[in-house]
Structure 1
Amino acid sequence: MIVILVVVLLLVGVSVALGRTTHQVESAPETEYLELEGIWVRYGVTGGGPPVVLVHGWLSSSRIWEQLAGRLAQRFTVYTLDLSGFGDSDKPLSGYGIRYGSRLLYAFCAHFGLTHASVVGHDLGANMAIKLAADHPDVVGRLVVVAAPAQEDQMDLPTPLWLATLPVVGPLFYMLGKVLRPVRVLWMRPFVADPEELPEEVVEDAARSTPAAVSKTLRVARRELSGGRLARQARMVRVPALIVAGEEDQIVDPHSAAVWGRSLERSEVCLMDGCGHLPMVERVAGFNAQILAFLTGDSRYLDYVERAAGMPGEEPTESMEAAAAEEEGEDVPSGEGREEIRRDLLRNGRSGTGDGRGKIFPEVPENLFEWPGSWEEYQAGRRRRPEGDEEGSDGEEPRSS
């Protein structure tokens, strides 16, 4: 009995010591790191044009945006960063959560002199972006919210990962996963709808944090989301917003999109079929097209992805894309191949974003999976109307039958 007690006390002591582990960047080249809020932050800048800031989520890093950043860089200046506690940035003992993350984003934008920038956030990074838009309306010009919880009970972690966030013993479980790759795979597998689509970079990034950063970020964020605090503050946001959710997201309840749809006044919702918590790596072409269409106001990005998905045979090449564009007599933006996607672009009936597609439904219902009718029915009815007549004879917005 005494031996067991000693072992338990020893394990608790080791766990407490691990929970106070920190990490500081030893060599910080000016071209790769910034000192913000007293910590060194890894960042990247690419492309040219209007500014777009990409903010990763919990247990991730800026590497999650590599494919989107490469696509956006053709038309925008893309800024990425590793948030405090994750990726290659400093990992202090404290200073985590949505409020601290928002302050870090503001310092980041201020350093580069960014105003009215488009901000794309994923997971808790999207919550930070929402708070940034609410607190500093001059900084954010457009907002994209991807798989972000609106309430503290809308996050559900797989048991092996949940154990790593527990107080006292959590650091032991996290260090176990940090050392053993199979454990990390168990952590991250539910993040995607198809386990075969889980990128190695996602598995690696899960081990690049510290127990304090992992547990405190989650714990503080849940407290900040409790009672719908951030959702209420989001009502102050007046910029156009796109809300993206994966229909099969097992980490964040996709119905959180309905909450954001009601809170963000000028918002539209995109529910991605057959997609989990990471649409930027699960549905690359479709996700990139949604972001580009929203940021540019050019719906042809979406149209081309739909046509490419219907092309028989091999994946379309750049020359095939150009031929298809010429056939249509349009200047269709270049795509990234073919991706199987059924687009459910759902709007809440408020101001749109200039993509010319009109509104589909007057409100976002509580249950996004119980729409009155279908997208296909709406499109069929829309095609039957004369060109330019998007509204009914009574002046109301078009609806599904």
Structure 2
Amino acid sequence: MPLAEIPLSAWRTRGQSFVFRGQAIRYWVAGQGEPLLLIHGFPSASWDWHYLWQPLAQRNRVIACDMLGFGDSAKPLDHTYCLLEQADLHQALLEHLRVHGKVHVLAHDYGDSVAQELLARHYEGRFKMASCVFLNGGLFPETHRVALAQKLLLSPVGWMVGRAFGRNTLADTFRQIFGPDTRPSESALDDFWSLIANNDGQRILHKLIAYIPQRRQQRERWVTAMRRGELPLRVIDGEVDPISGAHMVERYRELVPDADTVLLSNIGHYPQIEAPVQVLKHYLAFRERITQASTQLTCT
């Protein structure tokens, strides 16, 4: 059975705001239970999770925000955007919501890198993580195949490319990275574009793309954290994603001991949009396994 969509107009009315380092950040909270932090990707926003939002809220306290520079949050032009700061932002949001215990994390794309930083902080005693699931993202710089639009944004004329970036460019890019049978509708593309263009977001796309070299700088620290094997991790990945599909999962299996991975056939870069029922199934199975392991440990 397909999952119900939350229209963007309705999603926006449910958001709240808090201030992070002088900037207004939009966030969403629903449900009760163990806290589950959802971290979106580039160049979109937390609306990416709208198919999974209600099903996950039935058994978790789900929390998501539009990161600084994304969606309906502030997009300051004179700012150096940094993945480490986005991790700070999520910790500030949890503090704002008075969440002090362990947090489950479900992340995608750019959000994977933020989750990797939070995982490293967990082992450094600066964050309390219960588990982490990564959807398609550049977990390893050596396997990340940069899209043409990203290459152009990274170039010296990236600021010009960003200002010229429009809905048609977004549509062309998404058609290339989604699965062949699961491409977004025209109305969905309108909504994705609305989130990018809000607050003149095109002006800072070349600044946000700095996350790609930042991944290289943090690679060893983040990979070391993933290899620790002390926290439950899983990768749920759209197999035909040209950016971080099956080739990324192969590398994950090489580097991470006892790698827990799920490949979704014929699905591209946005599995939570393209195949939300499958993602939900595999995510809940992962969480159920954690619960069973915890129960067995308690009983022994």
- The within-5 A match list for 1:2-401 is 32-92=16-76, 93-114=78-99, 115-137=101-123, 138-167=127-156, 169-178=157-166, 181-194=167-180, 197-198=183-184, 199-200=188-189, 201-208=191-198, 210-211=201-202, 213-226=204-217, 228-229=219-220, 230-236=222-228, 238-261=230-253, 267-297=259-289, 353=290
Q: Hey, which bits of structure 1, 4+ residues long, moved more than 6 A?
A: none
More relative contact order in 1 or in 2 (CA 8 Å, sep 6+)? 2
Unpaired runs of at least 5, structure 2: 1-12, 294-300
Q: Which letter does structure 1 place at the counterpart of 2:175?
A: R
Higher helix share: 2
Q: 1:58 to 1:171 in 2, by over 3 A?
A: same
The one-letter amino acid of 2:135's match is V
| More displaced stretch, 237-246 vs 209-218 | 209-218
Structure 1 unaligned runs (5+)?
1-28, 298-352, 357-401
**Change in CA separation of 1:107 and 1:258 when aligned onto 2, cut-off 3 Å:** farther
Q: Take 2:75 and 2:22, find their aligned partners in 1: how far apart are those partners?
A: 11
Aligned residues: 270
Q: TM-score, normalised by structure 1?
A: 0.61
- Alpha-carbon contact 1:147-1:245 (below 8 Å) kept: yes
Distance in 2 between residues matched to 1:231 and 1:73, nearest whole Å: 30
Look up the equivalent residue of 2:97 and give its one-letter code: F
The separation in 2 between residues aligned to 1:161 and 1:222, in whole angstroms, is: 12
Residue 226 and residue 212 in structure 1: after superposition, are their counterparts in 2 closer, same or farther (change >3 A)?
Answer: farther
Q: What residue number does 1:301 align with?
A: none
What secondary structure does 1:59 align onto? Answer: coil
What SS is found at the alignment partner of 1:125? helix
Q: Distance in 1 between matches of 2:111 and 2:249?
A: 15
Percent identity between matched residues is 23
Mapped to 2, the partners of 1:125 and 1:214 lie a distance apart of 16
The amino acid of 1:118's aligned partner reads H
Give, as a single letter, the amino acid of the residue that structure 1 aligns with 2:131.
R
Root-mean-square deviation (CA, aligned residues, Å) is 2.7
Query: How many angstroms apart in 1 are the aligned matches of 2:182 and 2:253?
Result: 31
* Map of 2:3 onto structure 1: none
Cα distance in 2 for partners of 1:195, 1:225 equals 33
